[in-house]
Structure 1
Amino acid sequence: MELEPKKRYVTCGVRTLLFNHRDEILVGRRIDHKNRLYAAPGGNFEFGESFEDCAARELLEELNLQLNHDEFKYLTTLNVIYLEENFHYLNIMMVARITDEQASTIRNYDAEVCQEWEWIPYAEYVKKKDVYHTFTYLYQQGYDNIKAIYDKAGIQV
Protein backbone atom coordinates (compact mmCIF):
# COMPACT_ATOMS: atom_id res chain seq x y z
CA MET A 1 0.00 0.00 0.00
CA GLU A 2 1.35 3.43 -0.97
CA LEU A 3 1.36 6.26 1.49
CA GLU A 4 -0.39 9.44 0.46
CA PRO A 5 2.02 12.27 -0.26
CA LYS A 6 2.22 14.89 2.44
CA LYS A 7 -0.09 17.82 1.68
CA ARG A 8 1.62 20.99 0.50
CA TYR A 9 0.62 24.40 1.80
CA VAL A 10 1.09 27.84 0.30
CA THR A 11 0.07 30.93 2.23
CA CYS A 12 0.82 34.64 2.38
CA GLY A 13 1.25 36.98 5.31
CA VAL A 14 2.84 40.12 6.65
CA ARG A 15 5.67 40.49 9.13
CA THR A 16 6.52 43.88 10.61
CA LEU A 17 10.07 44.79 11.53
CA LEU A 18 9.28 47.06 14.45
CA PHE A 19 12.09 49.38 15.55
CA ASN A 20 12.48 51.96 18.31
CA HIS A 21 14.68 55.08 18.26
CA ARG A 22 17.58 53.04 19.75
CA ASP A 23 17.57 50.87 16.60
CA GLU A 24 16.32 47.87 18.55
CA ILE A 25 13.96 45.38 16.92
CA LEU A 26 10.97 43.89 18.73
CA VAL A 27 10.98 40.10 18.43
CA GLY A 28 9.23 37.30 20.24
CA ARG A 29 10.11 33.74 21.19
CA ARG A 30 7.58 31.48 19.50
CA ILE A 31 6.11 28.84 21.82
CA ASP A 32 4.41 27.12 18.88
CA HIS A 33 7.78 26.11 17.40
CA LYS A 34 9.77 23.30 18.99
CA ASN A 35 12.97 25.36 18.99
CA ARG A 36 11.30 28.52 20.32
CA LEU A 37 12.76 30.62 17.54
CA TYR A 38 12.68 34.41 17.45
CA ALA A 39 10.20 35.98 15.04
CA ALA A 40 8.83 39.39 14.14
CA PRO A 41 5.15 40.10 14.80
CA GLY A 42 2.75 39.30 11.99
CA GLY A 43 0.45 36.76 10.48
CA ASN A 44 -1.67 35.72 7.52
CA PHE A 45 -3.84 37.97 5.41
CA GLU A 46 -7.58 38.05 5.84
CA PHE A 47 -9.65 38.43 2.69
CA GLY A 48 -9.50 41.91 1.16
CA GLU A 49 -6.75 43.31 3.38
CA SER A 50 -4.00 45.60 2.15
CA PHE A 51 -0.44 45.13 3.38
CA GLU A 52 -0.99 47.93 5.89
CA ASP A 53 -4.38 46.53 7.00
CA CYS A 54 -2.85 43.15 7.78
CA ALA A 55 0.19 44.63 9.54
CA ALA A 56 -1.95 46.96 11.66
CA ARG A 57 -4.42 44.22 12.61
CA GLU A 58 -1.67 41.78 13.58
CA LEU A 59 0.14 44.36 15.74
CA LEU A 60 -3.11 45.21 17.50
CA GLU A 61 -4.02 41.54 18.04
CA GLU A 62 -0.57 40.43 19.19
CA LEU A 63 0.81 43.51 20.92
CA ASN A 64 -2.03 45.95 21.67
CA LEU A 65 -0.13 48.39 19.43
CA GLN A 66 -2.21 50.66 17.22
CA LEU A 67 -0.43 52.22 14.25
CA ASN A 68 -1.80 54.24 11.34
CA HIS A 69 -1.32 53.01 7.80
CA ASP A 70 1.16 55.80 7.00
CA GLU A 71 3.47 54.54 9.77
CA PHE A 72 4.15 51.32 7.82
CA LYS A 73 6.72 51.19 5.03
CA TYR A 74 7.05 48.33 2.56
CA LEU A 75 10.50 46.70 2.59
CA THR A 76 10.46 43.54 0.48
CA THR A 77 8.72 40.26 -0.26
CA LEU A 78 10.33 36.99 0.82
CA ASN A 79 9.64 33.67 -0.86
CA VAL A 80 10.20 31.31 2.09
CA ILE A 81 10.05 27.58 1.39
CA TYR A 82 10.24 24.93 4.12
CA LEU A 83 10.87 21.79 2.05
CA GLU A 84 10.77 19.40 5.01
CA GLU A 85 7.33 20.64 6.04
CA ASN A 86 5.94 21.05 2.48
CA PHE A 87 5.19 24.64 3.41
CA HIS A 88 5.62 27.67 1.16
CA TYR A 89 5.16 31.11 2.70
CA LEU A 90 5.19 34.49 0.98
CA ASN A 91 6.23 37.09 3.55
CA ILE A 92 5.44 40.72 2.88
CA MET A 93 7.96 42.56 5.04
CA MET A 94 6.86 45.91 6.43
CA VAL A 95 8.85 48.29 8.64
CA ALA A 96 7.69 50.71 11.32
CA ARG A 97 9.68 52.89 13.70
CA ILE A 98 7.81 53.77 16.87
CA THR A 99 8.19 56.22 19.74
CA ASP A 100 8.74 55.31 23.38
CA GLU A 101 5.17 56.43 24.05
CA GLN A 102 3.84 53.98 21.45
CA ALA A 103 6.12 51.23 22.79
CA SER A 104 4.74 51.74 26.30
CA THR A 105 1.36 50.37 25.13
CA ILE A 106 2.82 47.02 24.05
CA ARG A 107 1.43 43.96 25.82
CA ASN A 108 1.75 40.27 24.98
CA TYR A 109 -1.79 39.55 23.75
CA ASP A 110 -0.67 36.35 22.03
CA ALA A 111 0.77 34.44 25.01
CA GLU A 112 -0.33 31.04 23.66
CA VAL A 113 1.93 31.56 20.63
CA CYS A 114 4.65 33.90 21.88
CA GLN A 115 6.51 33.40 25.15
CA GLU A 116 7.57 37.04 25.43
CA TRP A 117 8.48 40.06 23.33
CA GLU A 118 11.82 41.77 23.73
CA TRP A 119 13.77 44.64 22.24
CA ILE A 120 17.18 43.59 20.90
CA PRO A 121 19.69 45.89 19.16
CA TYR A 122 19.46 44.96 15.48
CA ALA A 123 23.26 44.75 15.18
CA GLU A 124 23.17 42.01 17.85
CA TYR A 125 20.02 40.35 16.55
CA VAL A 126 21.53 39.59 13.13
CA LYS A 127 24.18 37.45 14.88
CA LYS A 128 21.58 35.17 16.50
CA LYS A 129 21.14 31.67 15.11
CA ASP A 130 17.82 30.85 16.79
CA VAL A 131 15.65 32.88 14.40
CA TYR A 132 12.91 31.96 11.93
CA HIS A 133 14.03 31.27 8.34
CA THR A 134 12.39 34.54 7.38
CA PHE A 135 15.40 36.40 8.72
CA THR A 136 17.87 34.21 6.82
CA TYR A 137 16.08 35.14 3.59
CA LEU A 138 15.99 38.80 4.68
CA TYR A 139 19.74 38.84 5.31
CA GLN A 140 20.36 37.22 1.92
CA GLN A 141 18.65 40.23 0.34
CA GLY A 142 21.13 42.55 2.08
CA TYR A 143 18.99 43.58 5.05
CA ASP A 144 21.46 42.44 7.69
CA ASN A 145 22.10 46.03 8.75
CA ILE A 146 19.66 48.65 9.88
CA LYS A 147 20.89 51.34 7.48
CA ALA A 148 19.95 49.19 4.48
CA ILE A 149 16.47 48.67 5.95
CA TYR A 150 15.91 52.35 6.72
CA ASP A 151 17.25 53.42 3.31
CA LYS A 152 15.02 51.01 1.35
CA ALA A 153 11.95 51.79 3.46
CA GLY A 154 12.58 55.55 3.27
CA ILE A 155 12.78 55.98 7.04
CA GLN A 156 14.56 59.18 8.08
CA VAL A 157 16.48 59.08 11.37
Structure 2
Amino acid sequence: MESTGVVPSPRVAVVVFLLKGNKVLLGRRLTPVGRHTFALPGGHLEFGESFEECAAREVKEETGLDISKIEYLTVTNNVYSKNPSNPLHIVAVFMRAIQAEPTQVAQNLEPEKCESWDWYDWKNLPRPLFGPLQAMADNGFNPFPADHEND
Protein backbone atom coordinates (compact mmCIF):
# COMPACT_ATOMS: atom_id res chain seq x y z
CA MET A 1 0.00 0.00 0.00
CA GLU A 2 1.41 3.39 -0.97
CA SER A 3 1.44 6.04 1.69
CA THR A 4 -0.41 9.21 0.77
CA GLY A 5 1.13 11.09 3.69
CA VAL A 6 -2.35 11.69 5.12
CA VAL A 7 -2.87 10.27 8.58
CA PRO A 8 -6.48 9.24 9.20
CA SER A 9 -8.14 11.06 12.08
CA PRO A 10 -10.75 9.79 14.50
CA ARG A 11 -14.29 11.10 14.04
CA VAL A 12 -16.76 11.75 16.83
CA ALA A 13 -20.27 10.33 16.59
CA VAL A 14 -23.15 10.98 18.97
CA VAL A 15 -25.52 8.03 19.31
CA VAL A 16 -28.86 8.07 21.13
CA PHE A 17 -30.60 5.44 23.22
CA LEU A 18 -34.13 6.76 22.63
CA LEU A 19 -36.21 5.02 25.29
CA LYS A 20 -39.93 4.30 25.51
CA GLY A 21 -41.04 1.98 28.32
CA ASN A 22 -38.67 -1.02 28.11
CA LYS A 23 -37.95 -0.37 24.44
CA VAL A 24 -35.27 1.35 22.39
CA LEU A 25 -35.54 2.78 18.88
CA LEU A 26 -33.39 0.93 16.33
CA GLY A 27 -32.98 1.18 12.57
CA ARG A 28 -31.46 -1.27 10.09
CA ARG A 29 -28.39 0.36 8.53
CA LEU A 30 -27.93 0.61 4.76
CA THR A 31 -24.56 2.38 4.90
CA PRO A 32 -21.28 0.58 4.08
CA VAL A 33 -20.14 0.43 7.74
CA GLY A 34 -22.43 -2.00 9.52
CA ARG A 35 -24.70 -2.66 6.54
CA HIS A 36 -27.87 -4.58 7.51
CA THR A 37 -27.19 -4.36 11.25
CA PHE A 38 -29.57 -2.76 13.73
CA ALA A 39 -28.31 0.50 15.21
CA LEU A 40 -29.36 3.47 17.29
CA PRO A 41 -30.04 6.86 15.70
CA GLY A 42 -27.06 9.19 15.64
CA GLY A 43 -24.37 10.76 13.55
CA HIS A 44 -21.28 12.90 13.45
CA LEU A 45 -20.69 15.79 15.82
CA GLU A 46 -20.47 19.12 14.02
CA PHE A 47 -17.90 21.78 14.94
CA GLY A 48 -18.93 23.74 18.05
CA GLU A 49 -21.95 21.53 18.75
CA SER A 50 -22.67 20.12 22.23
CA PHE A 51 -23.38 16.39 22.59
CA GLU A 52 -26.98 17.25 23.53
CA GLU A 53 -27.43 19.50 20.48
CA CYS A 54 -26.00 16.83 18.20
CA ALA A 55 -28.26 14.15 19.72
CA ALA A 56 -31.38 16.28 19.20
CA ARG A 57 -30.36 17.26 15.65
CA GLU A 58 -29.48 13.74 14.51
CA VAL A 59 -32.64 12.14 15.92
CA LYS A 60 -34.75 14.88 14.29
CA GLU A 61 -32.94 14.54 10.91
CA GLU A 62 -33.22 10.74 10.86
CA THR A 63 -36.63 10.10 12.49
CA GLY A 64 -38.50 13.40 12.69
CA LEU A 65 -38.81 12.93 16.45
CA ASP A 66 -38.20 15.65 19.01
CA ILE A 67 -36.38 14.46 22.12
CA SER A 68 -36.00 15.64 25.70
CA LYS A 69 -34.22 14.71 28.94
CA ILE A 70 -31.02 14.19 26.97
CA GLU A 71 -28.25 12.75 29.16
CA TYR A 72 -24.69 11.53 28.64
CA LEU A 73 -24.23 7.77 29.27
CA THR A 74 -20.82 6.57 28.10
CA VAL A 75 -18.25 6.67 25.31
CA THR A 76 -16.69 3.88 23.24
CA ASN A 77 -13.58 3.79 21.07
CA ASN A 78 -14.20 1.93 17.78
CA VAL A 79 -11.45 1.20 15.25
CA TYR A 80 -12.41 -0.53 12.00
CA SER A 81 -9.32 -1.66 10.11
CA LYS A 82 -10.76 -4.36 7.83
CA ASN A 83 -10.08 -2.13 4.84
CA PRO A 84 -6.44 -0.94 5.23
CA SER A 85 -6.85 1.57 2.41
CA ASN A 86 -9.75 3.21 4.27
CA PRO A 87 -9.33 2.72 8.02
CA LEU A 88 -12.07 4.15 10.20
CA HIS A 89 -11.82 5.27 13.82
CA ILE A 90 -15.00 6.46 15.53
CA VAL A 91 -15.29 7.75 19.07
CA ALA A 92 -18.98 7.16 19.89
CA VAL A 93 -20.62 9.25 22.58
CA PHE A 94 -23.75 7.49 23.79
CA MET A 95 -26.62 9.61 25.07
CA ARG A 96 -30.03 8.70 26.52
CA ALA A 97 -33.29 10.54 25.80
CA ILE A 98 -37.05 10.20 25.63
CA GLN A 99 -39.53 11.56 23.12
CA ALA A 100 -40.57 15.13 23.85
CA GLU A 101 -44.02 14.31 22.45
CA PRO A 102 -44.92 10.64 23.12
CA THR A 103 -47.56 10.53 20.36
CA GLN A 104 -45.03 11.32 17.61
CA VAL A 105 -44.27 8.41 15.27
CA ALA A 106 -40.77 7.77 13.95
CA GLN A 107 -40.40 8.39 10.21
CA ASN A 108 -37.60 7.16 7.98
CA LEU A 109 -36.26 10.50 6.74
CA GLU A 110 -32.98 9.09 5.36
CA PRO A 111 -34.08 5.99 3.41
CA GLU A 112 -30.70 5.80 1.67
CA LYS A 113 -29.04 5.23 5.09
CA CYS A 114 -31.69 3.30 7.02
CA GLU A 115 -34.27 0.67 6.04
CA SER A 116 -36.78 1.58 8.78
CA TRP A 117 -37.15 2.53 12.45
CA ASP A 118 -38.92 0.46 15.08
CA TRP A 119 -39.11 -0.03 18.84
CA TYR A 120 -37.49 -3.16 20.30
CA ASP A 121 -37.61 -4.58 23.81
CA TRP A 122 -34.15 -4.21 25.37
CA LYS A 123 -34.26 -7.84 26.54
CA ASN A 124 -35.21 -9.11 23.07
CA LEU A 125 -33.12 -7.13 20.58
CA PRO A 126 -33.07 -7.95 16.87
CA ARG A 127 -29.97 -9.45 15.29
CA PRO A 128 -27.48 -8.65 14.00
CA LEU A 129 -26.73 -5.55 16.06
CA PHE A 130 -24.21 -2.92 14.95
CA GLY A 131 -20.79 -3.87 16.41
CA PRO A 132 -20.46 -1.26 19.19
CA LEU A 133 -24.07 -1.81 20.30
CA GLN A 134 -23.59 -5.60 20.26
CA ALA A 135 -20.49 -5.25 22.45
CA MET A 136 -22.41 -3.09 24.93
CA ALA A 137 -25.32 -5.54 25.09
CA ASP A 138 -22.93 -8.50 25.48
CA ASN A 139 -21.26 -6.74 28.41
CA GLY A 140 -24.58 -6.21 30.23
CA PHE A 141 -24.89 -2.49 29.54
CA ASN A 142 -28.28 -1.11 30.59
CA PRO A 143 -29.32 2.20 28.98
CA PHE A 144 -32.25 2.70 31.36
CA PRO A 145 -32.09 4.99 34.40
CA ALA A 146 -31.41 3.26 37.74
CA ASP A 147 -34.95 4.01 38.94
CA HIS A 148 -36.50 2.43 35.80
CA GLU A 149 -38.15 -0.93 36.32
CA ASN A 150 -36.87 -2.88 33.33
CA ASP A 151 -38.71 -6.19 33.72
Q: What is the rounded CA distance, in whole Å, between the counterparts of 1:131 and 1:27 in structure 2?
A: 9
* Residue in 1 that maps onto 2:45: 45
Question: Structure 2: any 5+ residue segments left out of the alignment?
Answer: none
Cα distance, 1:134 vs structure 2: 1.4
* Residue in 1 that maps onto 2:124: 124
Using structure 1 for the length normalisation, give the TM-score: 0.79
Matched, 1:10 2:10: yes
Using structure 2 for the length normalisation, give the TM-score: 0.82
Percent sequence identity is 29
Higher helix share: 1
1:73-152 mapped onto 2 (5 Å cutoff): 73-85=71-83, 86-98=87-99, 101-102=101-102, 104-125=104-125, 128-139=126-137, 141-143=139-141, 148-151=142-145
Q: Aligned pair count?
A: 143
Contact 2:65/2:104 (8 A) holds in 1: no
Q: What is the rounded CA distance, in whole Å, between the counterparts of 1:123 and 1:14 in structure 2?
A: 23
Contact 1:65/1:105 (8 A) holds in 2: yes
> Per the alignment, in what secondary structure is the counterpart of residue 124 of structure 1?
coil
My pick for the range that moved more, 131-140 or 113-122, is 131-140
Q: What residue identity is the alignment partner of 2:31?
A: D
Cα distance, 1:117 vs structure 2: 0.6
Q: 1:38 to 1:103 in 2, by over 3 A?
A: farther
> Per the alignment, in what secondary structure is the counterpart of residue 123 of structure 2?
helix
Q: 1:155 to 1:45 in 2, by over 3 A?
A: farther
Q: What is the rounded CA distance, in whole Å, between the counterparts of 2:17 and 2:131 in structure 1?
A: 14
* Residue in 2 that maps onto 1:63: 63
Contact 1:78/1:138 (8 A) holds in 2: no
